[in-house]
């Protein structure tokens, strides 16, 4: 593993305030437009590149900022305060699309791809999910057959974030057809322009317009052996380790969004008058505000605790699952209360709350459903108890 640079408090604070300003001044004003267009403007993506956002977690020697997990979470809290479509633009480069390469790539692979990933020139996607392998990731059917100095990939992947813009895919495929389950899965770096690789149209979704997911098809795609990530059969564990980190990132975005929804509902409740006084003076409204604040605070504390453990090189499988489970369920409740506090206005498009309400629903599903997180947490508890 590369040694990380310790950013001091002042530099971290400066980074966070630059991002907070960017979110407030450049992103929030265009949220509704991005929702309607289902696209983030290219000019904004270029500004994200200039800010170094695509390389937040890439080691410095390959052109990134090499943030610790804790600082990555602080950044994600800030990006959570606006439409998740924005952070999704660079989210796969920072997380699931690049972490396999950072954690398990060879020096040659890192030198070849990481500088372009850090600059945002190369967008990355993580191809684990398939039509018949959703929660059951070990059931991957995409085949990778070794033929001389390359592998031939055949199969398809489903709902892959940023696939329409990706230039590089981390693909989990089965190298040994006789080995069912996790042990037969291997990870590969597959370039977009490989003959036989094609990408479907972006799906129409309930929320998060501007963030795209597409299917990816592999029709006898030749991948050189040097593009295998790690050993044959190590792909499932690689994917799980990548997801441990990704889950903490998603949890952080949930907290940022919850804080945004709480602030919007509080501001509304301060102004909106009913029964002769602002509705924030009605105790049943106060109860909803207090519950949302308390739960967002609890999630934030969990995330920061888990992030510090990760920065101390400890396994966070349980903690990341718990943080993602709690934070994604929490933001669902907070969004629901926000609609309730705004009443009719919460249901009307112009107020923007209904959009965020739709946006947050997927957090309980992607990068592991709540039910999968419960399984992961319980399994880790049982494993520890058995010693």
Which residues form the catalytic set? 367
CA 71 from chain centre, in angstroms, equals 15
Q: Note whether 367 binds ligand CAA by CB under 6 A.
A: yes
Q: Which is nearer to ligand CAA, 189 or 341 (CB)?
A: 189
In DSSP terms, 218 is beta-bridged to 155, 197
Q: How many residues bind ligand CAA (CB under 6 A)?
A: 25
Sequence-distant (6+) residues with CB within 8 A of 338 are 261, 262, 264, 265, 292, 346, 353, 356, 357
* C-alpha to C-alpha distance for 343 and 165, rounded to whole angstroms: 38
* Binding span for ligand CAA by CB under 6 A among 49-57, 126-134, 293-301, 333-341: 126-134
Looking only at the bridges linking them, the beta strands covering 213-224 and 143-147 are unpaired
Q: Which is nearer to ligand CAA, 143 or 157 (CB)?
A: 157
* Binding span for ligand CAA by CB under 6 A among 27-35, 123-131, 144-152, 196-204: 123-131
Give the start-end residues of each E strand in 204-329: 213-224, 228-229, 273-274, 277-278
Q: Which is nearer to ligand CAA, 147 or 385 (CB)?
A: 385
Q: Note whether 377 binds ligand CAA by CB under 6 A.
A: no
* Binding span for ligand CAA by CB under 6 A among 9-17, 116-124, 145-153, 362-370: 362-370
Q: Which is nearer to ligand CAA, 303 or 376 (CB)?
A: 376
**What is the per-residue binding string for ligand CAA in 240-269, x denoting contact by CB under 6 A?**
xx-xx-------------------------
Q: Note whether 130 binds ligand CAA by CB under 6 A.
A: no
The closest alpha carbon to 65, from 111, 20, 109, 15, belongs to 15
Q: Which is nearer to ligand CAA, 185 or 341 (CB)?
A: 185
* Binding span for ligand CAA by CB under 6 A among 59-67, 69-77, 147-155, 366-374: 366-374
Q: Note whether 141 binds ligand CAA by CB under 6 A.
A: no
Long-range residue pairs from 277-284, CB within 8 A, at least 24 positions apart, any chain: 279/341
Site for ligand CAA in 225-244 (CB under 6 A): 236-237, 240-241, 243-244
Q: Note whether 90 binds ligand CAA by CB under 6 A.
A: no
Long-range residue pairs from 237-241, CB within 8 A, at least 24 positions apart, any chain: 237/182, 238/100, 238/103, 238/104, 238/172, 238/187, 239/100, 239/126, 239/128, 239/137, 239/172, 239/185, 239/187, 240/137, 240/317, 241/99, 241/103
Residue 368, SS3 per DSSP: coil
Site residues (vs ligand CAA, CB under 6 A)? 96, 126, 128-129, 135-138, 160-161, 181-182, 236-237, 240-241, 243-244, 317, 366-368, 372, 375-376
């Amino acid at each position: 593993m590369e040694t990380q640079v310790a950013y001091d408090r002042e530099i971290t604070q400066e980074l966070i305030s630059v991002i907070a300003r960017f979110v407030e001044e450049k992103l929030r004003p265009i949220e509704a437009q991005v929702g309607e267009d289902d696209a983030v403007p290219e000019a904004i993506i270029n500004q994200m590149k200039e800010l170094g956002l695509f390389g937040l977690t890439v080691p410095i020697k390959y052109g990134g900022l090499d943030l610790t997990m804790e600082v990555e979470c602080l950044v994600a809290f800030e990006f959570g305060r606006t439409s998740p479509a924005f952070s999704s633009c660079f989210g796969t480069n920072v997380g699931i699309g690049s972490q396999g390469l950072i954690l398990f790539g060879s020096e040659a692979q890192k030198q070849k791809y990481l500088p372009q990933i850090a600059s945002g020139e190369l967008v990355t996607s993580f191809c684990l999910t398939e039509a018949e392998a959703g929660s059951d990731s070990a059931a991957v059917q995409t085949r990778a057959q070794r033929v001389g100095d390359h592998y031939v990939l055949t199969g398809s992947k489903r709902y892959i974030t940023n696939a329409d813009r990706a230039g590089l895919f981390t693909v989990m495929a089965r190298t040994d057809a006789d080995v069912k389950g996790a042990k037969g899965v291997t990870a590969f770096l597959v370039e977009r322009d490989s003959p036989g690789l094609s990408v479907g149209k972006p799906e129409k979704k309930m929320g998060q317009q501007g963030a795209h997911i597409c299917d990816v098809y592999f029709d006898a795609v030749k991948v050189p052996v040097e593009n295998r990530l790690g050993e044959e059969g190590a792909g499932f564990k690689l994917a799980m380790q990548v997801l441990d980190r990704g889950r903490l990132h998603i949890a952080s975005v949930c907290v940022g969004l919850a804080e945004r929804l709480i602030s919007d509902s509080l501001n509304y409740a301060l102004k909106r008058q009913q029964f002769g006084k602002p509705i924030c003076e009605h105790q049943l409204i106060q109860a909803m505000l207090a519950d949302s604040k308390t739960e967002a605070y609890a999630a934030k504390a969990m995330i920061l605790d888990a992030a510090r453990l990760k920065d101390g090189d400890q396994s966070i499988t349980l903690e990341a699952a718990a943080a993602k489970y709690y934070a994604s369920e929490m933001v669902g409740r907070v969004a629901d209360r926000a609609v309730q506090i705004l009443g009719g206005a919460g249901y009307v498009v112009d107020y923007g709350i209904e959009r965020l309400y739709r946006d947050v629903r997927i957090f309980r599903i992607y990068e592991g459903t709540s039910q999968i997180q419960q399984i992961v947490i319980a399994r880790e508890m049982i494993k520890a108890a058995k010693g």
